[in-house]
Amino acid sequence: MKKVIVIGSGAGGAMAAHMLAKKFEVTVLEAGKEFKPLSLPLDKLAMFRKTGLYFDERMIQLLLPSMRIDKQQEMVMVYGRGVGGTTTLATGNAVRADGGLKAIGINLDEEFDELYRELPITTDHQRYWSPITKRTFQVMQQLGMDPQPMPKLLRPGSCRLCGHCSIGCPTLAKWDTRELLKDIKVLTGCKVTHIDITNRTAQKVHVTRGLQHLTLEADVIIVAAGGYGTPDILRASGIDCQPTLFVDPVLCVAAPMEKARQDRQLLMPFVSHREKYIISPYMDWLSFFFNRQWHKPMDGMVSLMIKLADVEQGDVHHNKMSKVLTPLDHQRLQQGVDDCRQILLQLGAKDEDIFLGTLNAGHPGGMLPLTQAEAETLHSPLLPDNLYVCDATLLPQALGLPPMLTIMALAKRIARIITPS
């Protein structure tokens, strides 16, 4: 049986591994360890905010080892490192975001249909919405923002409304890609340094695992280390990437609202699609713990997220982001802030009490973008014949939307291309 090595266990890597395991011997290499959700109650941790203990966003790794933070002057990059990748920290949104792929001739209708049949995707969570969530939905309807319930990778009956969606679901009500890997060999703690390539063939994967150096051989190699990790592996292997990084920046706009209890709600329960950004209710735990403007009690504020489709301009080197938002990005963010301010005012907030969160991002991609020429193969000519990329690195444009479902659809198609008929 031919061997496949998949580097990364997030949306793309896990789905590709799951599909290919039917006909290949598959090994998944994961840089992180087994994922463990935050076990401490958030209200207990919140008691220490006034002490100044939480002074740097990177400290979140002490509480949640699978979460990684890259902090630069303008924004904070958040990503997952552990089995399941960032899917364990995502809020389980199953929204289709393939407009850029369709524009270059890639139609994934069949793969999306399969995902909707195979995965627990639902909008049947509206009955669990709190009064403030329902009220926000109504206000946005009245303002003509056309909010729509967010499709969720969720088993609503198991959700206990703890607000932990983005720090690890304690009841496994939220689906993540660990469920695709149950019968697949996963080696944790494996940092891939580079891939040996000779005569357009990828031959060996070089890995450090603790103090060990491992060299692994395979017939097919898939790099799915995420839009943040894949470019480093490719460059170290002699394959260049483009400085076209997008990150889908997130900025939350919030206001005090007594006993709103948004901290005990499903994150991003509905969404409003605007021009180049979306708006959705979201309790921003990064801002709550590390932004001093967020000093209100966790049950006493309402927060709205702006997620922006940024200009594809930036780079990653050695897991460090080089990314500056353009004037157009800032203009669109301000439009989003104005929209959120209008919503909060309609909810009863005072203009002078509205405050902003920490600008952060968590959807890196776009540094080896597919073009119309690769619409059939999904394989860049820069890659050896037996080496595939299978994550957001392939996406041709910023989404401004949760990418997980789209990456899994891409992974399904790539797995079909690899698998002999």
Tens digits of residue pLDDT in 136-168: 999 999 999 999 999 999 998 888 888 888 888
Q: How far is CA 176 from the centre of its chain?
A: 11
The CATH number for 216's domain is 3.50.50.60
User: What domain count does the chain have?
Assistant: 2
Q: Phi and psi of 286, rounded to 5°?
A: -65, -45
How high is the pLDDT of residue 162?
83
- Is 307 within the bounds of a domain? yes
Cα(99)–Cα(108) distance, integer angstroms:
11
Amino acid at 145: M
In a domain, residue 298? The reply is yes
The range of the structural domain enclosing residue 286 comes to 42-79+125-150+161-168+249-314+324-361
Report which residue type is found at 282. Answer: Y
Q: What is the pLDDT of residue 40?
A: 67
* Same domain, yes or no: 279 and 393: no
Please check whether residue 120 lies inside any domain of the structure. no
Which CATH number belongs to the domain containing residue 350 in this structure? 3.30.410
pLDDT of 298 reads 83
- Do 146 and 185 lie in a common domain? no
Closest Cα partner for 163 from 45, 51, 245, 271?
45
Answer whether residue 90 is part of any domain. no
Asked if residue 221 and residue 135 are part of one domain, the reply reads no
- Alpha-carbon distance of 213 to 232, in angstroms, equals 18
Residue 109 lies in a domain: no
The pTM of the full predicted model, rounded to 2 decimals, is: 0.94
Q: Tell me the average confidence (pLDDT) per consecutive run of 10 residues in the chain, 421 residues long.
A: 95 98 96 83 66 64 74 84 92 95 97 98 92 96 98 92 84 94 96 95 95 95 96 96 96 94 90 97 88 85 97 92 95 98 97 96 95 97 97 97 97 95 67
- Give 352-381 pLDDT, tens digit per residue: 999 999 999 989 999 999 999 999 999 999
- Residues 131, 74 share a domain: yes
Q: Are residues 270 and 143 in the same domain?
A: yes
